[in-house]
Amino acid sequence: MNRLVIVANRVPNPGERGATAGGLAVALKDALAKREALWFGWSGQIAEATAADPVETRIGRITYATLDLGREDHRRYYLGFSNGSLWPTLHYRLGLAVFAREDHAGYRAVNAAFAAALAPMLRPDDTIWAHDFHLFPVGAALRALGCRQRIGFFLHVPFPPAGLFCALPRAAELLTDLAAYDVIGVQTEDDAVNLRAALAGVGQEEAAARVHAFPIGIEAEAFTTLAEKAIGKRETERFRQSLVDRALIIGVDRLDYTKGLPQRFCGYGQLLARFKTHRSKVTYLQVAPVSRGDVAQYRALRRELDEWVGRINGQHAEPDWAPLRYMTRAVARPVLAGFMRMARVGLVTPLRDGMNLVAKEYVAAQDPEDPGVLVLSRFAGAVAQLPGALLVNPLDPDEIAEALDQALTMKPAERKARWEECIVSVRRDGARAWCREFLSRLEGANDA
Protein backbone atom coordinates (compact mmCIF):
# COMPACT_ATOMS: atom_id res chain seq x y z
CA MET A 1 0.00 0.00 0.00
CA ASN A 2 1.27 3.48 -0.78
CA ARG A 3 2.24 5.90 1.97
CA LEU A 4 -0.21 8.27 3.65
CA VAL A 5 1.10 11.75 4.38
CA ILE A 6 -0.81 13.74 7.01
CA VAL A 7 -0.19 17.48 7.05
CA ALA A 8 -1.62 19.27 10.07
CA ASN A 9 -0.86 22.39 12.04
CA ARG A 10 0.16 20.28 15.02
CA VAL A 11 1.95 16.98 15.16
CA PRO A 12 1.20 15.13 18.42
CA ASN A 13 3.98 15.19 21.03
CA PRO A 14 5.76 11.91 21.74
CA GLY A 15 3.68 11.47 24.93
CA GLU A 16 0.44 11.94 22.98
CA ARG A 17 1.30 9.54 20.22
CA GLY A 18 0.14 6.37 21.95
CA ALA A 19 -2.91 5.35 23.94
CA THR A 20 -3.38 8.78 25.53
CA ALA A 21 -3.70 10.63 22.23
CA GLY A 22 -6.74 12.79 21.57
CA GLY A 23 -8.28 14.59 18.62
CA LEU A 24 -6.93 13.93 15.18
CA ALA A 25 -4.49 11.24 16.38
CA VAL A 26 -7.44 9.14 17.62
CA ALA A 27 -9.49 9.73 14.49
CA LEU A 28 -6.60 8.72 12.22
CA LYS A 29 -5.48 5.75 14.32
CA ASP A 30 -6.96 3.15 12.05
CA ALA A 31 -5.68 4.66 8.82
CA LEU A 32 -2.21 5.05 10.34
CA ALA A 33 -2.14 1.48 11.67
CA LYS A 34 -2.68 -0.01 8.24
CA ARG A 35 0.05 1.60 6.20
CA GLU A 36 3.29 3.48 6.23
CA ALA A 37 2.70 7.10 7.16
CA LEU A 38 4.40 10.46 7.40
CA TRP A 39 2.90 13.06 9.76
CA PHE A 40 4.16 16.54 8.99
CA GLY A 41 3.55 19.85 10.78
CA TRP A 42 4.47 22.23 13.57
CA SER A 43 6.30 20.79 16.58
CA GLY A 44 4.46 23.09 18.99
CA GLN A 45 7.82 24.74 19.80
CA ILE A 46 8.67 28.36 19.14
CA ALA A 47 12.19 29.28 17.98
CA GLU A 48 13.92 32.44 16.80
CA ALA A 49 13.13 31.65 13.16
CA THR A 50 11.02 29.01 11.42
CA ALA A 51 13.14 25.95 10.73
CA ALA A 52 13.79 25.07 7.10
CA ASP A 53 14.46 21.38 7.71
CA PRO A 54 12.09 19.16 9.65
CA VAL A 55 13.19 17.02 12.59
CA GLU A 56 12.24 13.41 11.92
CA THR A 57 11.35 10.72 14.46
CA ARG A 58 10.21 7.28 13.50
CA ILE A 59 7.88 5.22 15.69
CA GLY A 60 6.85 1.94 14.10
CA ARG A 61 5.59 2.66 10.60
CA ILE A 62 4.92 6.34 11.28
CA THR A 63 7.52 9.02 10.68
CA TYR A 64 6.84 12.31 12.46
CA ALA A 65 8.45 15.31 10.77
CA THR A 66 8.16 18.59 12.62
CA LEU A 67 9.23 22.20 12.18
CA ASP A 68 9.66 24.74 14.98
CA LEU A 69 7.93 28.03 14.20
CA GLY A 70 9.76 31.34 14.42
CA ARG A 71 8.33 33.74 17.04
CA GLU A 72 7.11 36.21 14.41
CA ASP A 73 5.62 33.48 12.21
CA HIS A 74 3.86 31.98 15.23
CA ARG A 75 2.38 35.37 16.05
CA ARG A 76 1.22 36.10 12.51
CA TYR A 77 0.30 32.67 11.11
CA TYR A 78 -1.04 30.99 14.24
CA LEU A 79 -2.27 33.64 16.67
CA GLY A 80 -2.98 36.26 14.01
CA PHE A 81 -4.55 34.96 10.85
CA SER A 82 -5.51 31.39 11.89
CA ASN A 83 -6.93 32.14 15.33
CA GLY A 84 -7.71 35.84 15.03
CA SER A 85 -9.19 35.98 11.50
CA LEU A 86 -10.17 32.53 10.28
CA TRP A 87 -11.40 30.86 13.49
CA PRO A 88 -14.07 33.51 14.30
CA THR A 89 -15.10 33.95 10.65
CA LEU A 90 -15.56 30.24 10.10
CA HIS A 91 -17.63 30.09 13.31
CA TYR A 92 -19.96 32.87 12.04
CA ARG A 93 -18.44 35.45 14.44
CA LEU A 94 -17.35 38.15 12.03
CA GLY A 95 -17.57 40.74 14.81
CA LEU A 96 -14.73 39.02 16.65
CA ALA A 97 -12.48 38.70 13.60
CA VAL A 98 -9.51 40.97 13.22
CA PHE A 99 -7.56 41.31 10.00
CA ALA A 100 -4.02 42.55 9.48
CA ARG A 101 -2.13 42.30 6.21
CA GLU A 102 1.07 41.28 8.02
CA ASP A 103 -0.77 38.35 9.65
CA HIS A 104 -2.18 37.29 6.31
CA ALA A 105 1.31 37.48 4.76
CA GLY A 106 2.70 35.44 7.69
CA TYR A 107 -0.01 32.80 7.18
CA ARG A 108 0.89 32.44 3.51
CA ALA A 109 4.61 32.42 4.29
CA VAL A 110 4.27 29.58 6.83
CA ASN A 111 2.12 27.57 4.43
CA ALA A 112 4.78 28.08 1.76
CA ALA A 113 7.52 27.08 4.25
CA PHE A 114 5.59 23.90 5.15
CA ALA A 115 5.26 23.03 1.46
CA ALA A 116 8.96 23.75 0.78
CA ALA A 117 10.04 21.52 3.68
CA LEU A 118 7.60 18.74 2.82
CA ALA A 119 8.06 18.58 -0.96
CA PRO A 120 11.54 16.98 -0.91
CA MET A 121 10.26 14.26 1.43
CA LEU A 122 7.44 13.20 -0.88
CA ARG A 123 7.33 10.06 -3.03
CA PRO A 124 5.48 10.09 -6.35
CA ASP A 125 2.77 7.69 -5.17
CA ASP A 126 2.11 9.28 -1.75
CA THR A 127 -1.43 10.22 -0.80
CA ILE A 128 -1.42 13.58 0.95
CA TRP A 129 -4.13 14.64 3.39
CA ALA A 130 -4.01 18.21 4.74
CA HIS A 131 -6.09 19.21 7.74
CA ASP A 132 -7.96 22.27 8.82
CA PHE A 133 -8.11 26.01 8.45
CA HIS A 134 -4.46 26.67 9.25
CA LEU A 135 -3.55 25.04 5.97
CA PHE A 136 -5.95 26.23 3.27
CA PRO A 137 -3.02 27.22 0.97
CA VAL A 138 -0.62 24.32 1.58
CA GLY A 139 -1.99 22.23 -1.31
CA ALA A 140 -1.64 25.10 -3.78
CA ALA A 141 1.88 25.76 -2.45
CA LEU A 142 2.79 22.10 -3.03
CA ARG A 143 1.35 22.23 -6.56
CA ALA A 144 3.43 25.35 -7.26
CA LEU A 145 6.50 23.28 -6.38
CA GLY A 146 5.50 20.66 -8.94
CA CYS A 147 3.80 18.09 -6.67
CA ARG A 148 1.35 16.00 -8.66
CA GLN A 149 0.31 13.56 -5.95
CA ARG A 150 -3.29 13.19 -4.85
CA ILE A 151 -3.91 15.86 -2.23
CA GLY A 152 -7.03 16.01 -0.10
CA PHE A 153 -8.14 18.60 2.46
CA PHE A 154 -10.49 18.30 5.41
CA LEU A 155 -11.95 21.28 7.26
CA HIS A 156 -12.73 20.37 10.89
CA VAL A 157 -14.66 23.56 11.64
CA PRO A 158 -17.86 24.88 10.02
CA PHE A 159 -17.92 26.69 6.70
CA PRO A 160 -20.30 29.68 6.93
CA PRO A 161 -22.56 31.08 4.18
CA ALA A 162 -20.58 32.54 1.28
CA GLY A 163 -21.60 36.14 2.01
CA LEU A 164 -20.22 35.88 5.52
CA PHE A 165 -16.99 34.14 4.54
CA CYS A 166 -16.34 36.59 1.73
CA ALA A 167 -16.39 39.50 4.18
CA LEU A 168 -12.98 38.27 5.30
CA PRO A 169 -10.32 40.17 3.36
CA ARG A 170 -8.54 37.94 0.83
CA ALA A 171 -11.30 35.32 1.07
CA ALA A 172 -11.28 34.82 -2.72
CA GLU A 173 -7.59 33.93 -2.59
CA LEU A 174 -8.25 31.26 0.04
CA LEU A 175 -11.04 29.79 -2.05
CA THR A 176 -8.79 29.69 -5.09
CA ASP A 177 -6.20 27.88 -2.96
CA LEU A 178 -8.77 25.22 -2.12
CA ALA A 179 -9.20 24.47 -5.82
CA ALA A 180 -5.75 22.80 -5.74
CA TYR A 181 -7.16 19.85 -3.76
CA ASP A 182 -8.55 16.71 -5.36
CA VAL A 183 -11.09 16.24 -2.56
CA ILE A 184 -12.33 19.01 -0.27
CA GLY A 185 -13.97 17.55 2.82
CA VAL A 186 -16.24 19.30 5.31
CA GLN A 187 -18.21 18.02 8.30
CA THR A 188 -21.85 18.50 7.23
CA GLU A 189 -24.11 18.91 4.22
CA ASP A 190 -24.79 22.53 5.28
CA ASP A 191 -21.05 23.24 5.23
CA ALA A 192 -20.80 21.59 1.81
CA VAL A 193 -23.63 23.73 0.41
CA ASN A 194 -21.99 26.90 1.79
CA LEU A 195 -18.53 26.06 0.50
CA ARG A 196 -19.79 25.05 -2.95
CA ALA A 197 -21.61 28.38 -3.25
CA ALA A 198 -18.51 30.30 -2.13
CA LEU A 199 -16.34 28.44 -4.68
CA ALA A 200 -18.87 28.99 -7.46
CA GLY A 201 -18.91 32.68 -6.53
CA VAL A 202 -15.22 33.00 -7.40
CA GLY A 203 -15.55 31.00 -10.62
CA GLN A 204 -14.35 27.69 -9.15
CA GLU A 205 -17.33 25.56 -10.21
CA GLU A 206 -15.12 22.56 -10.91
CA ALA A 207 -13.66 22.67 -7.41
CA ALA A 208 -17.18 23.05 -6.02
CA ALA A 209 -17.97 19.60 -7.43
CA ARG A 210 -15.09 18.18 -5.37
CA VAL A 211 -16.63 19.29 -2.05
CA HIS A 212 -18.17 16.47 0.01
CA ALA A 213 -19.35 16.04 3.59
CA PHE A 214 -17.56 13.45 5.75
CA PRO A 215 -18.90 13.70 9.32
CA ILE A 216 -16.09 12.80 11.70
CA GLY A 217 -16.76 10.22 14.40
CA ILE A 218 -15.14 8.55 17.38
CA GLU A 219 -13.85 5.08 18.15
CA ALA A 220 -17.09 4.28 19.94
CA GLU A 221 -16.35 0.76 21.22
CA ALA A 222 -13.00 1.84 22.63
CA PHE A 223 -14.60 4.81 24.41
CA THR A 224 -17.37 2.59 25.84
CA THR A 225 -14.74 0.20 27.19
CA LEU A 226 -12.82 3.10 28.71
CA ALA A 227 -15.98 4.29 30.46
CA GLU A 228 -16.92 0.81 31.70
CA LYS A 229 -13.44 0.23 33.06
CA ALA A 230 -13.43 3.56 34.90
CA ILE A 231 -16.37 2.53 37.07
CA GLY A 232 -15.09 1.16 40.35
CA LYS A 233 -11.69 2.85 39.98
CA ARG A 234 -10.54 5.02 42.88
CA GLU A 235 -10.80 8.40 41.15
CA THR A 236 -14.27 7.72 39.77
CA GLU A 237 -15.59 6.37 43.06
CA ARG A 238 -14.21 9.29 45.05
CA PHE A 239 -16.02 11.60 42.68
CA ARG A 240 -19.24 9.56 42.96
CA GLN A 241 -19.12 9.73 46.75
CA SER A 242 -18.62 13.48 46.62
CA LEU A 243 -21.91 13.81 44.70
CA VAL A 244 -23.90 12.20 47.55
CA ASP A 245 -26.58 10.74 45.25
CA ARG A 246 -27.13 14.01 43.41
CA ALA A 247 -27.76 13.82 39.65
CA LEU A 248 -24.71 14.86 37.65
CA ILE A 249 -24.73 17.18 34.63
CA ILE A 250 -21.42 17.18 32.74
CA GLY A 251 -19.92 19.60 30.24
CA VAL A 252 -16.52 19.07 28.59
CA ASP A 253 -15.15 21.71 26.23
CA ARG A 254 -11.94 23.47 25.39
CA LEU A 255 -12.28 26.91 26.93
CA ASP A 256 -13.32 28.69 23.74
CA TYR A 257 -15.86 31.39 22.90
CA THR A 258 -17.48 29.14 20.31
CA LYS A 259 -18.56 26.67 22.97
CA GLY A 260 -21.30 28.87 24.46
CA LEU A 261 -20.11 28.55 28.06
CA PRO A 262 -21.45 31.86 29.50
CA GLN A 263 -24.89 31.19 28.01
CA ARG A 264 -24.71 27.61 29.33
CA PHE A 265 -23.82 28.75 32.85
CA CYS A 266 -26.64 31.27 32.66
CA GLY A 267 -29.01 28.47 31.56
CA TYR A 268 -27.99 26.36 34.54
CA GLY A 269 -28.58 29.36 36.81
CA GLN A 270 -32.08 29.64 35.28
CA LEU A 271 -32.70 25.97 36.02
CA LEU A 272 -31.93 26.53 39.68
CA ALA A 273 -33.96 29.74 39.81
CA ARG A 274 -37.02 28.52 37.90
CA PHE A 275 -37.21 24.80 38.67
CA LYS A 276 -36.73 24.78 42.41
CA THR A 277 -37.19 21.01 42.82
CA HIS A 278 -33.67 20.53 41.44
CA ARG A 279 -32.03 22.66 44.11
CA SER A 280 -29.61 20.62 46.13
CA LYS A 281 -30.47 17.59 43.98
CA VAL A 282 -28.11 18.25 41.06
CA THR A 283 -24.42 19.02 40.51
CA TYR A 284 -23.00 20.40 37.30
CA LEU A 285 -19.35 19.65 36.52
CA GLN A 286 -17.81 21.73 33.74
CA VAL A 287 -14.37 20.66 32.55
CA ALA A 288 -12.93 23.43 30.39
CA PRO A 289 -9.19 23.04 29.78
CA VAL A 290 -7.61 26.34 28.82
CA SER A 291 -6.58 26.60 25.18
CA ARG A 292 -5.01 29.62 23.50
CA GLY A 293 -4.59 31.19 26.95
CA ASP A 294 -2.30 33.83 25.48
CA VAL A 295 -5.03 35.47 23.39
CA ALA A 296 -6.86 38.48 24.90
CA GLN A 297 -10.35 37.28 23.90
CA TYR A 298 -9.73 34.03 25.77
CA ARG A 299 -8.49 35.81 28.88
CA ALA A 300 -11.67 37.90 28.85
CA LEU A 301 -13.80 34.76 28.49
CA ARG A 302 -12.05 33.20 31.45
CA ARG A 303 -12.82 36.23 33.60
CA GLU A 304 -16.45 36.15 32.50
CA LEU A 305 -16.75 32.46 33.41
CA ASP A 306 -15.08 33.01 36.78
CA GLU A 307 -17.78 35.59 37.47
CA TRP A 308 -20.57 33.24 36.45
CA VAL A 309 -19.27 30.47 38.68
CA GLY A 310 -19.03 32.88 41.63
CA ARG A 311 -22.51 34.24 40.95
CA ILE A 312 -24.22 30.84 40.61
CA ASN A 313 -22.49 29.26 43.58
CA GLY A 314 -22.85 32.42 45.67
CA GLN A 315 -26.57 32.63 44.94
CA HIS A 316 -27.57 28.99 45.23
CA ALA A 317 -24.98 27.05 47.25
CA GLU A 318 -25.72 25.55 50.62
CA PRO A 319 -23.16 24.63 53.25
CA ASP A 320 -23.04 21.06 51.93
CA TRP A 321 -23.72 21.73 48.23
CA ALA A 322 -21.88 23.63 45.51
CA PRO A 323 -24.17 23.55 42.45
CA LEU A 324 -21.42 24.23 39.90
CA ARG A 325 -17.96 22.68 39.87
CA TYR A 326 -15.70 24.22 37.28
CA MET A 327 -12.16 23.25 36.36
CA THR A 328 -9.84 24.68 33.73
CA ARG A 329 -7.35 21.83 34.06
CA ALA A 330 -7.62 18.88 31.67
CA VAL A 331 -8.86 15.56 33.05
CA ALA A 332 -7.24 12.30 31.90
CA ARG A 333 -9.26 10.66 29.14
CA PRO A 334 -10.10 7.42 31.02
CA VAL A 335 -11.30 9.40 34.05
CA LEU A 336 -13.35 11.70 31.81
CA ALA A 337 -15.01 8.67 30.21
CA GLY A 338 -16.01 7.43 33.68
CA PHE A 339 -17.42 10.84 34.67
CA MET A 340 -19.44 10.91 31.44
CA ARG A 341 -20.89 7.47 32.20
CA MET A 342 -21.95 8.65 35.65
CA ALA A 343 -23.66 11.79 34.36
CA ARG A 344 -27.45 11.85 34.05
CA VAL A 345 -27.11 14.70 31.52
CA GLY A 346 -24.45 15.54 28.93
CA LEU A 347 -24.65 19.29 28.28
CA VAL A 348 -23.14 20.28 24.93
CA THR A 349 -24.21 23.73 23.75
CA PRO A 350 -21.69 25.28 21.35
CA LEU A 351 -22.82 28.42 19.51
CA ARG A 352 -21.32 26.79 16.39
CA ASP A 353 -19.26 23.63 16.08
CA GLY A 354 -17.90 21.75 13.09
CA MET A 355 -18.96 18.44 14.60
CA ASN A 356 -18.41 18.16 18.39
CA LEU A 357 -16.94 14.86 19.45
CA VAL A 358 -17.84 15.30 23.13
CA ALA A 359 -21.52 14.77 22.25
CA LYS A 360 -20.64 11.43 20.62
CA GLU A 361 -18.32 10.45 23.47
CA TYR A 362 -21.06 11.13 26.00
CA VAL A 363 -23.43 8.81 24.13
CA ALA A 364 -20.76 6.10 23.80
CA ALA A 365 -19.97 6.29 27.53
CA GLN A 366 -23.52 5.53 28.68
CA ASP A 367 -24.74 2.36 30.38
CA PRO A 368 -27.28 0.91 27.89
CA GLU A 369 -29.51 -0.18 30.78
CA ASP A 370 -29.59 3.23 32.42
CA PRO A 371 -28.42 5.86 29.94
CA GLY A 372 -28.32 9.60 30.51
CA VAL A 373 -29.75 12.30 28.24
CA LEU A 374 -27.80 14.44 25.80
CA VAL A 375 -28.78 18.12 25.66
CA LEU A 376 -27.31 19.39 22.41
CA SER A 377 -27.01 22.67 20.56
CA ARG A 378 -28.87 22.73 17.26
CA PHE A 379 -25.76 24.45 15.83
CA ALA A 380 -23.34 21.55 16.38
CA GLY A 381 -22.53 19.52 13.27
CA ALA A 382 -23.19 16.37 15.32
CA VAL A 383 -26.95 17.09 15.31
CA ALA A 384 -27.51 15.08 12.15
CA GLN A 385 -26.19 11.89 13.79
CA LEU A 386 -27.84 12.32 17.19
CA PRO A 387 -31.60 12.26 16.61
CA GLY A 388 -32.36 11.26 20.21
CA ALA A 389 -30.77 14.37 21.76
CA LEU A 390 -32.81 17.19 23.28
CA LEU A 391 -32.02 20.10 20.99
CA VAL A 392 -31.65 23.65 22.25
CA ASN A 393 -30.81 27.06 20.89
CA PRO A 394 -27.56 27.70 22.79
CA LEU A 395 -28.22 31.45 22.81
CA ASP A 396 -31.39 31.01 24.85
CA PRO A 397 -30.59 30.26 28.52
CA ASP A 398 -34.28 29.62 29.27
CA GLU A 399 -34.42 26.94 26.61
CA ILE A 400 -31.32 25.37 28.15
CA ALA A 401 -32.97 25.44 31.59
CA GLU A 402 -36.16 23.85 30.23
CA ALA A 403 -34.21 21.11 28.43
CA LEU A 404 -32.21 20.41 31.60
CA ASP A 405 -35.43 20.08 33.58
CA GLN A 406 -36.86 17.75 30.93
CA ALA A 407 -33.68 15.64 30.94
CA LEU A 408 -33.47 15.44 34.73
CA THR A 409 -37.09 14.34 35.08
CA MET A 410 -37.18 12.01 32.05
CA LYS A 411 -38.51 8.49 32.65
CA PRO A 412 -36.05 5.60 32.11
CA ALA A 413 -37.99 4.23 29.10
CA GLU A 414 -37.71 7.52 27.21
CA ARG A 415 -34.06 7.92 28.16
CA LYS A 416 -33.36 4.47 26.76
CA ALA A 417 -35.32 5.06 23.55
CA ARG A 418 -33.55 8.37 22.92
CA TRP A 419 -30.12 6.88 23.64
CA GLU A 420 -30.78 3.98 21.28
CA GLU A 421 -31.57 6.46 18.51
CA CYS A 422 -28.17 8.07 19.06
CA ILE A 423 -25.86 5.12 19.66
CA VAL A 424 -26.62 3.51 16.29
CA SER A 425 -24.92 6.21 14.26
CA VAL A 426 -22.25 6.94 16.88
CA ARG A 427 -21.13 3.32 16.38
CA ARG A 428 -21.72 3.17 12.64
CA ASP A 429 -20.29 6.56 11.61
CA GLY A 430 -17.12 6.23 13.67
CA ALA A 431 -13.57 7.44 13.17
CA ARG A 432 -12.75 4.42 11.05
CA ALA A 433 -15.64 5.03 8.63
CA TRP A 434 -14.69 8.72 8.39
CA CYS A 435 -11.11 7.89 7.37
CA ARG A 436 -12.16 5.13 5.04
CA GLU A 437 -14.70 7.27 3.25
CA PHE A 438 -12.42 10.25 2.86
CA LEU A 439 -9.48 8.19 1.64
CA SER A 440 -11.51 6.04 -0.71
CA ARG A 441 -12.93 9.19 -2.29
CA LEU A 442 -9.39 10.61 -2.57
CA GLU A 443 -7.70 7.46 -3.80
CA GLY A 444 -10.52 6.24 -5.99
CA ALA A 445 -12.85 3.39 -5.06
CA ASN A 446 -10.49 0.80 -6.59
CA ASP A 447 -7.67 1.52 -4.15
CA ALA A 448 -9.87 1.62 -1.00
Query: Would you tell me which residues interact with ligand GDG (CB under 6 A)?
Result: 22-23, 156-157, 216, 252, 254, 287, 289, 330-333, 336, 353-358, 361
Among the listed residues 183, 181, 173, the one whose alpha carbon sits nearest the alpha carbon of residue 203: 173
Determine the residue type at 107. Answer: Y
Among the listed residues 425, 390, 386, 394, the one whose alpha carbon sits nearest the alpha carbon of residue 91: 394
Residue placing its CB nearer to ligand GDG in the complex, 8 or 180: 8
Residue placing its CB nearer to ligand GDG in the complex, 252 or 383: 252
Question: Catalytic residue at 353?
Answer: yes
Q: How far apart are CA 147 and CA 158, in angstroms?
A: 28
Residue placing its CB nearer to ligand GDG in the complex, 90 or 207: 90
Question: Which of helix, strand or coil describes residue 249?
Answer: strand
Shortest distance (Å) from residue 173 CB to ligand GDG? 24
Cα 393 off chain centre by? 19
Q: How far apart are CA 135 and CA 11, in angstroms?
A: 13
Q: Which of 91, 156, 278, 316 is catalytic?
A: 156
**CA 70, 72, 74: angle at the middle one, nearest 5?**
65
Q: How far apart are CA 158 and CA 281, in angstroms?
A: 37
- The DSSP symbol for 70 reads E
Question: Catalytic residue at 278?
Answer: no
Shortest distance (Å) from residue 24 CB to ligand GDG? 7
Shortest distance (Å) from residue 304 CB to ligand GDG? 19
Buried-exposed string 93-127: b where 16+ CB fall within 10 A, e elsewhere: beeebebeeebbebbbbbbbbbbebbeeebeeebb
Residue placing its CB nearer to ligand GDG in the complex, 268 or 362: 362
Q: How far apart are CA 419 and CA 366, in angstroms?
A: 8
Shortest distance (Å) from residue 27 CB to ligand GDG? 7
Q: Which of 68, 182, 353, 429 is catalytic?
A: 353
Shortest distance (Å) from residue 337 CB to ligand GDG? 9
First-residue to last-residue Cα distance in the chain? 10
- Say if CB 414 and CB 431 are below 8 A apart: no
Among the listed residues 128, 22, 17, the one whose alpha carbon sits nearest the alpha carbon of residue 431: 22
Catalytic sites, residue numbers: 156, 353
